Amino acid sequence: MAEKFDFIDSAKYDFKDPEKYAFRTPKGLNKEVVEEISRQKQEPKWMLDIRLKALDIFLKKPTPTWGGDLSALDYDSYTYYIKPSEKKGGTWEEIPDNIKKTFDRLGVPEAERKFLAGLGAQYESEMVYHSIREDLAKKGVIFLDTETGLREYPELFREYFTKLVPIEDNKFASLNTACWSGGSFIYVPEGVNIDIPLQAYFRINSEKMGQFERTIIVADEGAKLHYIEGCTAPQYSTLSLHTGVIEIFVKKNASVRYTTIQNWARNIYNLVTQRSMVEEGGLMEWVDGNIGSKLTMKYPSIYLIGDNSRGKILSITFATEGQHQDAGGKVIHKGKNSASTIVSKSISRFSGRCSYRGLVKVIKNATGVKSSVKCDALMLDEQSRSDTYPVMQIDEEDATVSHEATVGKISDEVIHYLTSRGIKESDAQAMVVMGFIDEFAKELPMEYAIELNRLIQLEMEGSVG
Amino acid sequence: MTPNLLSEFESDKFLDLRKKFLESYDSGKKMDEPVKLDFDSLPINKISPQFEKCDHFETLNENEITHKIHPFYEEGLNPKSNFSNYLLAFLEEGIYLKPHSQKGYLKFFAKTGLTLEPVIVEFENDCTLFLHFSGGDGSVCLDFIRVFVKENVKAKLFFLFENGKRGIDFSSKLENGSTLEVYPVVLKGEGIIFNSTHNIDKKDAFYVEKSVSLIKGKDKLRQITLVSENEEGIKVDVEARSILDDSSRCFIKGILNVEKRAKKSESHYGGHCLKFSKESKALIEPQLEIKSLDVKATHSASVSNVDDEKVFYLESRGLEREKARKEIGIGFLSSFVKENQFLEKKIEENFNE
């Protein structure tokens, strides 16, 4: 089974298709480019107005200097919109051959058949495929690409769009709002429980392009959803940009789990804003695996606004040569008796750098809050680096918030023990790393957990001697 | 006042330095500090040692104290806080200590106005020193404290900072194999900026800092500890504990920076707040920056209210609820200073005020 669901094995997805496109904007970002994106999508005027306002804010805001090194970002060198095909499909037969072949090689349609309730596949700037199980559609579940969501459900769309991530939130949220394209629009009606995951798969094929997916998820009262996103791209010597914005609304007693297996090629800047808001008794879980990209800056956030709401962020990062994974999580407690946990595991080797950056904030009158944060970092060689930058801001007396972090290397005693049992040193190291991330792997569907383990094993090859 | 007047009997070198520090202060003060000391227009007082007695400690002898200025301008004593630029621009008298007593004590008292309190301590042999900085009504103090510990010497340093507004710029220099244990206690500080900065670059040096603060009323504390480790075998253990009552505010930040050369080092930072009131606010940022492989580095942080179970236990033993809460708070703070009964008592007194 492992070979068939090869979503995150870098050797398997590092292939390039010939660049065949229905339309692409010229390089660089300006008013004309944004207007052209809007025209291509035949959007209402209010959306174009928001895009132009966001562009203005993006151009005015400075590039942040507090996280990873963004100095090589050259905004004028990217193509901000590439339409791969005029056709979109609800079946794979409707998809142009070259694109279908790409997703076949990645094992995406097969995964859909075997263990998904619905799938969206984005190629460059557009979702080329979207499909959901018939029984779920009949129950009123909406699972569409974001453009179709805007077209078919304009009022519902407008109710949630930019409500959690305002256009001026940060430079990259502004950029996304100006030129968003693709992503998923999901609405799960009251009481509907989607027992197997929905998935979106994002593929960048072109060199020096920007992909700006925008995802809105609404889980109505008592609804339950697990959404998975995977991302890959071929390796180029030039740098590409992926800037997503995800807004998730978890209503009363609803539950959403959002799992990311991010395995972009190492020429991608992955700068993503993910935010969720949880009402009374609701549960939001971010399961966030960052293995690829040149630089990731991503801090999934949970606003626990309802009483007795809960949030959980489970993050692993793996950074090797030339990579900086600047990840973490934020939880803001507003609801009484709300609870949260953040668990972060990072592994760095071959001069890779992992940083945890997080915030736990308890707003005044949010009594009975409990929050715990645990960060563990494993460094595998002398050239690597690990940083931890947590913030705890507590404005309420009746709150219990704790944080602990450890940074260390693999214990020599453990390696000695395993090698004395006939295990090769590199395998012994890989075993320890697997054990280290076990808490994360356990939270993934079986097929993804197997693939994650395979990936880590691949990454660990050659790490000794 | 200008530095020129102070430098009447100094060489041009010192006048130039004073001017440089004043320029640095002026350019640095534009930065918005959340805790404002507002000392610029206040009349300046010199440091004032009081040879008072303290139980269980010996008052320092005159031969252990020298009044000097110029050592404060030597290389390596750079200001780590902007207010220290002001102190170094206008410094008239500094205290240079070489304690020999087994357990020495010295008190400084600050009158109304701005008091500049520069202190250098040089530990040449194993000993314990207790420096007590006290302020009168309306006093603002700038404390510039530099500690040197000779090779293989084990030194222990208690601080008590009480009353008024205060900027504390504390730094140390450790030699190979030396140990410095520091126990700062902050009580009744209207506005306190406490910057503790240490660059440890000698083998097998051991730095311990266990600080406690009791913040009440509208008091504000901004405490930042930065320790950089840059040699093999260094051990660092830093913990900051704070109790917040009424509408007080505290910001506690700890940065442990373990550089490549710091192999086989062990480091821990802990930042912990106990909140006694709904209106108080706490912000904690414990940070680790690890660039070396063969190290152990951990940090922990917590903010919580008084544990109801502990209160209930004490209530069941006959204590009133409020008394039980206070006892828990006293225990939380005074566990670091068990060895110093004077400080233990002071903490208790402040709790009961």
pLDDT band at A211 (very low <50, low <70, confident <90, very high): very high
Burial A111-139 (b: 16+ CB within 10 A, else e): bbeeebbbbbbbbbbbbbbbbbbeebeee
According to the model, what pLDDT value does residue B3 have?
54
Total Cβ atoms within 10 A of residue A305: 19
Contact list, A402 vs chain B (CB under 8 Å): 300-302, 304
Neighbours of B322 (CB within 10 A): 9
Selecting from A386, A399, A405 the residue whose C-beta is nearest the C-beta of B299 gives A405
Are A231 and A99 contained in the same domain? yes
Assess B302–A contact: CB distance below 8 Å, yes or no. yes
Q: Which two tokens stand for residue A185?
A: 């629009």
Residue by residue, DSSP assigns A440-452 as: HHTTS-HHHHHHH
Domain boundary among A298, A333, A366: A298
Q: Measured between CA atoms, how close is A362 to chain B, in angstroms?
A: 10
pLDDT over threshold 80, residue B156: yes
Alpha-carbon dihedral sign for residues A354, B81, B234, B303: negative
Report how far residue A29's alpha carbon sits from residue A7's, in angstroms, rounded to the nearest whole number.
32
Residues B45 and B89: their CA atoms lie apart, in Å, by 14
Residue A155: helix, strand or coil by DSSP? helix
Closest CA to A170 of A229, A239, A241, A243: A243
Quote the minimal CA–CA distance from A359 to chain B in Å: 9
When CB atoms are compared, the residue of A385, A390, A398 closest to B305 is: A398
Alpha carbon of A240: minimum distance to chain B alpha carbons (Å)? 28
Q: Do the strands B165-174 and B139-149 form a parallel or antiparallel pair, or are they unpaired? A: parallel
Q: What is the pLDDT of residues A214-246, one digit of tens each?
A: 999 999 999 999 999 887 777 667 788 999 999
**Highest-confidence range of A420-424, B40-44, B252-256, by mean pLDDT?**
B252-256
Q: How confident is the model at residue A254 (pLDDT cuts 50, 70, 90)?
A: very high
**Contacting residues of B for A415, CB less than 8 Å apart:** none
How far is it, in rounded angstroms, from Cα B99 to Cα B103? 9
CA distances from B24 to A146, A402, B19, B78, B181 (A): 54, 39, 9, 12, 32
The structure's pTM equals: 0.84
Provide the 3-class DSSP secondary structure of residue A262: strand
> What residues of A are in contact with residue B296 (Cβ under 8 Å)?
406-408
DSSP state of A66: S
Higher pLDDT, A85 or B126: B126
pLDDT at B75: 60
List CB contacts of B308: < 8 A, sequence separation 6 or more.
none
Please indicate whether, in this complex, the C-beta atoms of A391 and B283 are within 8 angstroms of each other: yes
Question: How much is the pLDDT for A459?
Answer: 65
Nearest residue in A to B280, CA atom: A395
Q: Cα dist. A377→A352, A356, A388, A440 in Å?
A: 12, 9, 9, 14
CB atoms within 10 A of CB A54: 23
Distance CA B222, CA B32 (A): 13
The pLDDT of residue A438 is 82
CB contact under 8 A, B286 and A398: no
- The DSSP line for A311-355 is EEEEEEEEE-TT-EEEEEEEEEE-STT-EEEEEEEEEE-TT-EEE
Chain B residues in contact with A394 by the CB 8 A cut-off are 273, 275, 281-284, 303
- Whether B301 sits inside 8 A of A393 (CB atoms) is no
Q: At a CB cut-off of 8 Å and minimum separation 6, what does B60 contact?
A: B51, B97, B99, B101, B104, B105, B106
Residue of B278, B285, B293 lying closest to A409 (CB–CB): B293
Test A407 with B290 for CB contact under 8 angstroms. yes
Answer yes or no: is A312 within a domain: no
Q: Looking at residue A277, what is its pLDDT?
A: 98
Pairing mode, strands A184-188 and A142-145: antiparallel
- The answer to whether A405 contacts B285, with C-beta atoms less than 8 Å apart, is no
Q: How far apart are CA B79 and CA B167, in angstroms?
A: 12
Chosen from B302, B309, B325 to mutate, greatest number of chain A CBs within 10 A: B302
As for the ipTM of the complex, it is 0.75
Q: Confirm or reject contact between B22 and chain A (CB < 8 A).
A: no
Rg (CA), chain B: 20
Question: Structural domain of residue A440, as residue ranges?
Answer: 411-465
Indicate the pairing of strand A82-83 with strand A23-24: antiparallel
Cβ–Cβ gap B286/A387 under 8 Å: no
State the average pLDDT over residues B16-34: 82
Asked whether residue A5 carries a pLDDT value surpassing 60, the answer given is no
pLDDT for position A3: 35
Judge whether B283 is closer than 8 Å to chain A, CB to CB. Answer: yes
3-state secondary structure of A119: strand
Report the C-alpha gap between A337 and A319 in whole angstroms.
Answer: 36
CB B107 within 8 A of CB B132: yes
Residues of A in contact with B304 (CB under 8 A): 399-402
Handedness of CA A168, A339, B250, A375 (dihedral sign): negative
What is the pLDDT of chain B when averaged over all its residues? 89
Torsion, Cα A61 A65 A69 A73, to 10 degrees, reads: 20
Q: Is B152 on the interface with A (CB under 8 A)?
A: no
Q: What is the DSSP string of A279-314?
A: -TT-EEEEEEEE--SSEEEE--EEEE-STT-EEEEE
User: In this structure, are strands A245-250 and A82-83 parallel, antiparallel, or unpaired?
Assistant: unpaired
Nearest CA in chain B to A380: B293
DSSP assignment of A344-406, as one string? EEEEE-TT-EEEEEEEEEE-TT-TTEEEEEEEEEEE-STT-EEEEEEEEEE--SSEEEEEEEE
- Binary contact (B304, A399; C-beta < 8 A): yes
Residues in chain B within 8 Å Cβ distance of A357: none
- Chain B residue numbers with beta carbons less than 8 Å from the beta carbon of A377 are 290
The reported pLDDT for the residue numbered A85 is 72
Residues A139 and A287 in one domain: yes
Mean pLDDT, residues A358-367: 94
Among A136-145, A446-455, B85-94, B123-132, where is mean pLDDT lowest?
A446-455
**SS3 (DSSP) at A194:** coil
């995951």: which residue's tokens?
A: A197
> What would the mean pLDDT of B90-101 be, rounded to a whole number?
87
Contact: B304, A406; criterion CB under 8 Å: no
Contact A388 B288 (CB under 8 A): yes
A403 closest CB neighbour out of B260, B290, B302: B302
Q: Answer yes or no: is A305 within a domain.
A: no
Closest chain A residue by Cα to residue B272: A402
The pLDDT of residue A11 is: 54
DSSP state at residue A193 = B
Cα A273 → chain centroid: 9
Query: Are B157 and B132 within 8 A, CB to CB?
Result: no
Give A143-184 pLDDT, tens digit per residue.
999 999 999 999 999 999 999 999 999 999 999 999 999 999
Residue B112 has pLDDT above 50, yes or no: yes
DSSP per-residue codes, B93-146: -EEEE---STEEEEEEEE-SEEEEEEEEEEE-SSEEEEEEEEE-TTEEEEEEEE
CB < 8 Å to B275, chain A: 394, 396-397, 399
pLDDT band of A6, cuts 50, 70, 90: very low
Q: Using CA atoms, how far apart are residues A318 and B237, in angstroms rounded to an integer?
A: 29
Q: Which two tokens stand for residue A225?
A: 């959803």
Which is it for the CA torsion B84, B87, B88, B89, positive or negative?
positive
Rounded CA separation B210/B273 (Å): 13
Q: H/E element holding A46?
A: helix A45-60
Beta pairing, strands A118-123 & A126-132: antiparallel
Q: Contact B304/A402, CB-based, under 8 Å?
A: yes
pLDDT at position B6: 56
Q: Please give the interface size between A and B, counted as residue pairs whose CB atoms are below 8 Å apart.
A: 110
User: Where is pLDDT greater, at A435 or A55?
Assistant: A55
Chain B positions in Cβ-Cβ contact with residue A405 (cut-off 8 Å): 286, 288, 298-300
| Residue where a domain terminates, one of A298, A324, A346 | A298
Q: Are B155 and B179 in contact (CB under 8 A)?
A: yes
Shortest alpha-carbon distance between residue A83 and chain B (Å)? 43
Who contacts A377 (Cβ-Cβ below 8 Å, separation ≥6)?
A345, A346, A347, A348, A354, A356, A386, A388, A405, A406, A407, A408, B290
- Measured CA angle at A118 (ends A114, A124), to 5 deg: 105
- Cβ–Cβ < 8 Å for B323, B331: no
Task: Indicate whether A399 pLDDT > 70.
Answer: yes
Identify the sign of the CA torsion A222, A223, A224, A227. negative
pLDDT band for position B270 (cuts 50, 70, 90) = very high
What integer is the mean pLDDT of B288-300?
89
Q: How far is CA B285 from CA A2, A276, A360, B223, B290, in A?
A: 42, 24, 10, 10, 16
Q: Is the dihedral of CA A403, A409, A411, A417 positive or negative?
A: positive
Q: Does B295 touch chain A (CB under 8 A)?
A: yes
Place of tokens 């969501």: A149
Burial of B327 (0-12, 13-18, 19+ CB in 10 A): middle
Contacts of A385 in chain B (CB under 8 A): 289-291
CA of A440 to nearest chain B CA: how many angstroms apart? 21
Is B307 a residue whose pLDDT tops 60? yes
Residue A164: both structure tokens together:
């959690």
The position carrying tokens 């507003």 is A334
pLDDT in tens, A443-459: 877 667 776 776 666 66
- Please indicate whether, in this complex, the C-beta atoms of A403 and B300 are within 8 angstroms of each other: yes
The mean predicted confidence, pLDDT, of chain A is 87
Q: Between these two residues, B335 and B170, which has the higher pLDDT value?
A: B170
Measured between alpha carbons, how far is A373 from A383 in angstroms, rounded to an integer?
27
Quote the tokens at residue A134: 């018939």
Query: Quick check: B167 and B139 in contact, CB under 8 A?
Result: no
The pLDDT, as a whole number, for residue B32 is 58
Q: Which of A390, A397, A406 sits opposite B275 (nearest CB)?
A: A397
User: Could you say which of B280, B293, B303 has the minimum Cβ distance to residue A384?
Assistant: B293
Least confident of A448-462, B81-95, B105-119: A448-462
pLDDT of residue A1: 32
Measured between beta carbons, the chain B residues lying within 8 angstroms of A408 are 295-297
Q: In the predicted model, what is the mean pLDDT of residues A396-408?
A: 89
A246: three-class secondary structure by DSSP: strand
> Under a CB-based contact definition with an 8 Å cutoff, are residues A261 and A8 in contact?
yes
Per-residue pLDDT reduced to its tens digit, A305-328: 999 999 999 999 999 999 999 999
The letter for the amino acid at A242 is H
Residue B236 CB contacts under 8 Å (≥ 6 apart), including other chains: B200, B206, B207, B208, B227, B229, B256, B265, B266, B267, B268, B269
How far does the CA of residue A377 sit from the closest CA of chain B (Å)? 10
Q: Find the CB nearest A387 among B273, B290, B301.
A: B290
Beta strands in B188-326 (DSSP E): 191-200, 206-215, 220-229, 235-244, 249-258, 266-275, 281-290, 296-305
Is A293 in the same domain as A420? no
Interval B231-245 mean pLDDT:
95
Q: Which of A298, A331, A357 is the last residue of a domain?
A: A298
Which phi and psi angles does A368 have, rounded to 5°? Answer: 75, 20
